[in-house]
Amino acid sequence: MTALRLPDFAIVGAQKSASTFVQDALRTHPDIFMPAGETRFFEDPEYGDGNLAGLAASFADCRQRRIGIKRPDYLGRPEVPARLRSAIPDLRVVVVLRHPIDRLVSAYYYYIKLGFLPVLDINEAIARLLRGEPIGNPKSRDLLDYGNYATHLQRYFSLFPREQIRVLLQEDVVAGEREAIAGICTFVGVDPARMGAMPPRANTGVYPLRRLRFLTRRNRHLYDYDAVTGKLKPHPMTIGRWLPAAAITAVDRLVLARMIGNRKPRLHESTQAMLAEYYRAQIEETAQLLGRDLGGWLR
């Protein structure tokens, strides 16, 4: 019986921490295959009975030396590390972390854009989340929790040998894109000298609430929402759905972006202080786990 061809490495997060850029850069390497987008297979409810044949079938024609997948939510989903370890014991795990408050802010506006959250001032929303009050879609709970890096990393460190996990900071990628990607290439077992040109940065956010309120009008043409899982279910794309969604996008980019701009709202000092206190112990523990100075995250 032919062995199943499964991924050799996975970019598991963190969400909104440059994982898409890392994926795009690795996809330029001729010895790496990574499917476009994200692979949700190992998380609930997609995992089902854990039948790996379906996942392997998507790589059946792959001739590259290494196969990788990306799903930033894997870092924060507690069910995922054990499934990855059981299915692929030799898996190489890549993690890119971002200052947890900056990550939360970016994710907050991204969730509004997708329709997960109401169009609400971020300071009010964070205050409610810190009080334990859900806002909008159940995914609102992820906003704070996905920044608890120490908790999430411990799950991976308890299951995988340390040499199979590579953790970078977003600052590492920004300071030296090519060097950071070269290091990942070496880590996953391909020659970094064969990398292609670095891709442009992706996933630029939209921050003004007036623009986001307008952009959310296109979501009903693109998605349905699963109330049980809190996930998006894309509609089959027809001309009747594509045209209005494209028109809304065009008006935003060509008109509203020029009129309103894209300035990121500032957090109130009180909001920053609450978040700093919320994440302080997690940052300190993450620094110990990684053996890195994260003092800049505490200031």
Q: Look at the chain and report how many structural domains it folds into.
A: 2
Residue 162 inside a domain? The answer is: yes
Residue 289 inside a domain? The answer is: no
Residue 3 inside a domain? The answer is: no
Domain that holds residue 29: 9-100+148-194
Do residues 228 and 272 share a domain?
yes
Do residues 83 and 44 share a domain?
yes
Q: In CATH, what number is assigned to the domain containing residue 172?
A: 3.40.50.300
Residue 199 inside a domain? The answer is: no
Do residues 129 and 35 share a domain?
no
Do residues 16 and 96 share a domain?
yes
Do residues 27 and 172 share a domain?
yes
Residue 293 inside a domain? The answer is: no
Do residues 80 and 208 share a domain?
no
Do residues 51 and 117 share a domain?
no
Residue 290 inside a domain? The answer is: no
Do residues 170 and 227 share a domain?
no
C-alpha to C-alpha distance for 101 and 144, rounded to whole angstroms: 9
**Domain closes at, from 162, 194, 226:** 194
Instruction: Please write the tens of the pLDDT for every residue from 260-282.
Output: 999 988 899 999 999 999 999 99
C-alpha to C-alpha distance for 107 and 281, rounded to whole angstroms: 21
Please, what is the end-to-end C-alpha distance for the chain in angstroms?
A: 56
Q: What is the pLDDT along the chain (299 residues), one digit of tens a residue?
A: 457 899 999 999 999 999 999 999 999 999 999 999 999 999 998 998 899 999 999 998 899 999 999 999 999 999 999 999 999 999 999 999 999 999 999 999 999 999 999 999 999 999 999 999 889 888 898 999 999 999 999 999 999 999 999 999 999 999 999 999 999 999 999 999 999 999 988 767 999 999 999 999 999 999 888 777 778 888 888 999 999 999 999 999 999 999 999 998 889 999 999 999 999 999 999 999 999 999 999 87
